[in-house]
Amino acid sequence: MSVSRGGNTTLDLQPLLADSDDNREHEEKAGGSVGVTLLNGSGSKELGHREREDSSVFVKKIGSALFYGISSFMITVVNKTVLTSYHFPSFLFLSLGQLTASIVVLGMGKRLKLVSFPPLQRNTFAKIFPLPLIFLGNMMFGLGGTKTLSLPMFAALRRFSILMTMLLELKILGLKPSTAVQVSVYAMIGGALVAASDDLSFNMRGYIYVMITNALTASNGVYVKKKLDTSEIGKYGLMYYNSLFMFLPALALNYATGDLEQAMNFGQWNDSVFVLQFLLSCVMGFILSYSTILCTQFNSALTTTIVGCLKNICVTYLGMFIGGDYVFSWLNCIGINISVLASLLYTYVTFRRKRAPDKQTHLPSTRGENV
């Protein structure tokens, strides 16, 4: 009797009974038919499972990117309202509030078993270094730039972080972008330069804050990706310990600069609307940190950065009416729109390119382990 397995592999057995040639031929045909049917059924189920996995991964990529974009948009608008519209005197104190919110929310989440991360150990700081320093600097200088610049110019200058992220990914992670990605990034930078060349509300301190934030944003994205790939601490652990390790340094900085006293003496603490927006800013800081790590984990540091810049499209146009510190000019508007179009091009190129490798990773192996 000859039984077919997979069409190319045949297992020959000596008949136990002396059957006729016709009976053997009938058995071969029946066995081959059943084998092909079983193989086709198994293959269809396996293919369907792989397609579902591919769809699930793609949904996670899109979902995490949208979550980060919405969170980043909300916190930018709320921060601008608190710091500029209400004239809150200290962006350093606001960053301290955001650190506190992250520690409290994650600490309660772990106690209630809603989230989990490893306990504090002696080598925890060494495992995640330099992320805590990058995290604190990025938060403080970002708030400083939001306070001192109009939102349209802040958004335009933030696009320099994309180029820095691309260069750092190449240097640290060994990821070389495609030609289409490079073209879109250079176009965004060109548009940002055109917009900045005609800034009628120029503020040197604000420019310095934003450029420092760009460098720290690029470093944060790349190092988060590296730490999530190599450390068992996880995304919740990174968020919690970044905030925990930097709380005392941030508090000391607030005290040394006098920002702590200025914030305590602020005259709007009896305004319930201001207090609500201040608390919302603190909580949104935690949500933004979580969404940033989630987007970087499911996508890439460069994708996280570009989603942030796509968010800046909305911030740019709404920022003309929020804060009251934007001065319109045609050259500035043209530069902003060049960056917007280039951002859309990069988004299309990135997600089209990233879906193909995902499908490849789920292709069946050619080594035939099941044969």
Greater pLDDT, 130 or 45: 130
Q: What percent of the chain has pLDDT over 90?
A: 27
Cα Rg of the chain (Å, integer): 28
Greater pLDDT, 336 or 107: 107
- Whether the per-residue pLDDT at 201 is higher than 80: the answer is no
**Domain assignments of the chain as residue spans, ordered by start:** 60-355
Report the range of poorest mean pLDDT among 104-113, 215-224, 307-316: 307-316
d(CA 352, CA 195): 29
Whether residue 184 contacts residue 342, with contact meaning beta carbons closer than 8 Å, is answered with: yes
- Residues 104-125 have a mean pLDDT of 90
d(CA 94, CA 75): 12
pLDDT of 39 reads 47
pLDDT digits (tens, 9 = 90+) for 250-294: 999 999 999 999 999 999 999 999 999 999 999 987 788 788 878
- Whether the per-residue pLDDT at 215 is higher than 80: the answer is yes
- Whether the per-residue pLDDT at 142 is higher than 60: the answer is yes
Q: Who contacts 314 (Cβ-Cβ below 8 Å, separation ≥6)?
A: 73
pLDDT of 36 reads 47
The string of DSSP letters for 21-61 reads HHHHHHHHHHHHHHHHHHHHHHHHHHHHHHHHHHHHHHHHH
pLDDT of 359 reads 42
- Residues 134-146 have a mean pLDDT of 91
pLDDT digits (tens, 9 = 90+) for 48-102: 667 676 788 888 888 888 999 888 888 888 988 999 889 999 999 999 999 999 9
Q: Provide the 3-class DSSP secondary structure of residue 102.
A: helix
Q: Is there a cis peptide before residue 364, judged by omega within 30 degrees of 0?
A: no
Helices (H), the chain: 21-80, 91-111, 124-128, 131-148, 151-158, 160-168, 179-197, 204-230, 234-257, 259-264, 272-298, 301-318, 330-361
For residue 272, the tally of other CB atoms under 10 A from its CB is 8
Greater pLDDT, 39 or 64: 64
pLDDT digits (tens, 9 = 90+) for 9-34: 334 444 434 444 555 555 555 555 44
Residue with tokens 């260069």: 167
pLDDT of 46 reads 67
d(CA 224, CA 230): 10
What is the pLDDT of the chain when averaged over all its residues?
79
Q: Which of 83, 112, 110, 101 is nearest to 259 (CA)?
A: 83
Largest Cα–Cα separation, the chain: 104
Name 4's bridge partners.
10
Q: How confident is the model at residue 141 (pLDDT cuts 50, 70, 90)?
A: very high
Whether residue 158 contacts residue 210, with contact meaning beta carbons closer than 8 Å, is answered with: yes
- Residues 206-227 have a mean pLDDT of 86
pLDDT of 111 reads 93
Whether residue 206 contacts residue 145, with contact meaning beta carbons closer than 8 Å, is answered with: yes
Q: Provide the 3-class DSSP secondary structure of residue 329.
A: coil
pLDDT of 10 reads 39
Q: Record the pTM.
A: 0.69
Q: How confident is the model at residue 8 (pLDDT cuts 50, 70, 90)?
A: very low
pLDDT of 371 reads 30
- Residues 204-223 have a mean pLDDT of 88
pLDDT of 354 reads 58
pLDDT of 367 reads 33
pLDDT of 89 reads 93
d(CA 77, CA 71): 10
d(CA 46, CA 28): 27
